[in-house]
Structures are given as C-alpha cells and as structure tokens.
Amino acid sequence: MRIERTVQRLVAHVVLIVACLLALFPLFWVVLTSIKRNVDANSPSVNAFAFTPTLQNYADLFNSPVFLHAALTTAVTTAGTTLGSVLVGTLTAYGLGRLWVFGRRVLVGMMVLLQVVPFLVLIVPLFNIVSAVGLYDTWIGLIVVQVGLFTPFVTWLMLAFFRSVPVEVEEAAFVDGVNRYQLFRYVLVPMLAPGLVAAGIFTAIASWNSFLLPVVLGQTVTQTLTAFAATFASSEQLLWAQMCATAVVILAPIVIFTLIMQRPLVNGITAGSLKS
C-alpha cells in the first residue's frame, strides 16, 4: 500500500513535470530565437546555442510604422470590444434573468447557437453588411462586429452569475428606494465583480487573438497584430527571427495576464461551461 502510493506520487511528479516542460518549451524556443540574427535562426538547431544575442529584431519591430499601427489597432479594438461586450452582455443577462422577455427561450437558444457555429458561415454576410454600411476597414466596424459576436458569451456567463444573486437582495434595495441605476452601481456590480472580471478577461483574450475577422473586415487600417504576424506565413524569405520577435510581443501579454489573473480565469472557464 505504502509502496504503491510512493510509486503513484513519483509517476505523478514525472508526468506533471514533463507536461509542464512540453507546455513551456515552445515559448522558451520562441524567446530564444527572437534574440538571434536571422542567419543564426536559420541555421540547423544543433548550433542553437552558438550565437551572439541581439535585440535588433525588437528594435526593428518598434521602428516599423506598420507594426506600430497594428499594435495600436489591436489595443484599441481589444479595449473597445471588451468594454462593449461586457456592458451589453451584462445588461442583456440582467434582462433575460430578471425581466419577462418575449421569446426568452428561443433567444437564449440562438445565443448559444451563435457560439458554436463556424465563424466562417457568418463571414461573407458580415463582409457584405459591413461594406454596405461603409465601415469596411475601420476600427469601429471591427469593434461593432466583435461586440456582436462576443456578447452572447458574456451574456451566457453573466446569466450564471446573476443566478447566484438572490432576487430578495434587489427587492430589499427597491424597498429602500434606490432606482435601477443605483441598484446596478451599488448592489449588483460589487456582487457580480468576479463574473465581470472573468467576462472581461475572456473577451479581451478572444479579441486579442482574433484573426479571421480583422483579416476579412479590412486590409490596412484594421491590420491587427495577428494579421501582421500571419504575413510571415506567406513570405518566402524565412524571416524566422523576426517572426519570433513578433510572436513574443503578441504572446507575452497573454502569459503575464494569465499568471496574474489565475483565479478569475479558472472560475470563468469552468463556470462558463459547467453550470450544474
């Protein structure tokens, strides 16, 4: 029994350590390659550690107007999308959770459906509509579309959190004579804070990572960091070192964010998908 337990612990440690190494290795390799000259990056991996480190790739990136514009676009659209989706989604969830709404079941069903259908099925209509209203290749166009597509997820997540707040709390607040704005500001927002944070984080990451929408809804003004990175895939010049530097700039914020926001993230992933 005791031996069995020791063996189990040993195996567990080995498996987890190997898994962690596998999870981290690509990230390590990207950082390593990003501080090489392109010649070194393109030489066989046997000589992987024989190089003089350089920050030239990063300097090049931050001197490139195209890159800086892409970074700005990603920052603005991510902020806009996150604020918009969380605001609209929370209000919708409140409406669906508390008020009597005609066709509630159908609406909720459609919202869930919107989360699972392939994005590509929406792409052509979205492209047509956005072009038709003159928002093609604009930040606003991209933000509006992303808010529309991410709101169902926020609504869905917030519905779960609204359910954890008893109606009696609101009734008590109304008896004390607060209006709906005050109810939100002083009662619901503090109680729902963990949910709001989780929803915000998820929308922010989804928007930061989103690739297909920015590519389809614009070419130049809305070129985000992901679209910028993808240009390395089509170039024949094998700019691996530059690609890795770009990858570090895109991935590092997520990694840092993930480590800081551990708890709300874990709660959000599981609460969003498992509500039983």
Positions in 56-75 near other proteins (CB under 8 A): none
**Closest CB 67 distance from other proteins, rounded Å:** 14
Nearer to other proteins, 76 or 206 (CB): 206
> What single string gives the DSSP state of each residue in 207-230?
HHH--HHHHHS-SSTT--HHHHHH
DSSP 8-state code for residue 47: G
Query: If binding is defined by CB under 8 A, does position 49 make contact with other proteins?
Result: no
Among residues 55, 119, 166, 219, which is the contact residue for other proteins, using CB under 8 A?
119
- Residue 274, CA distances (Å) to 205, 233, 268 in order: 20, 37, 10
Amino acid in the structure at residue 66: V
Among residues 2, 49, 50, 118, which is the contact residue for other proteins, using CB under 8 A?
118
Tell me how far apart the alpha carbons of residues 111 and 95 are, in angstroms, rounded to a whole number. Answer: 14
Binding mask 181-220 for other proteins (x = CB under 8 A): x-----------------------x--xx-xx---x----
Between CA 234 and CA 241, with CA 240 as vertex, the angle to 5 degrees is: 140
Alpha helices in 138-188 (DSSP H): 139-163, 167-175, 180-182
Instruction: Identify which range of 19-27, 54-62, 65-73, 191-199 contacts other proteins by CB under 8 A.
Output: 19-27
Q: How many residues bind other proteins (CB under 8 A)?
A: 94
Residues numbered 224-263 forming contacts with other proteins, rule: CB under 8 A: 226, 229-230, 232-233, 240, 243-244, 246-247, 250-251, 254-255, 258-259, 262
**228: number of CA atoms within 13 Å, CB side?**
27
For tokens 């393109």, the residue is 42
User: Per 3-state DSSP, what percentage of the chain is helix, strand, and coil (rounded to 5)?
Assistant: 80, 0, 20
Among residues 2, 3, 39, 45, which is the contact residue for other proteins, using CB under 8 A?
45
DSSP 8-state code for residue 45: G
Nearer to other proteins, 76 or 88 (CB): 88
Among residues 131, 164, 179, 219, which is the contact residue for other proteins, using CB under 8 A?
179
**Closest CB 221 distance from other proteins, rounded Å:** 18
Query: If binding is defined by CB under 8 A, does position 7 make contact with other proteins?
Result: no
Amino acid in the structure at residue 16: L
Instruction: Identify which range of 49-57, 63-71, 151-159, 191-199 contacts other proteins by CB under 8 A.
Output: 151-159
Distance of CA 157 to the CA centre of its chain: 15
Among residues 6, 7, 20, 221, which is the contact residue for other proteins, using CB under 8 A?
20
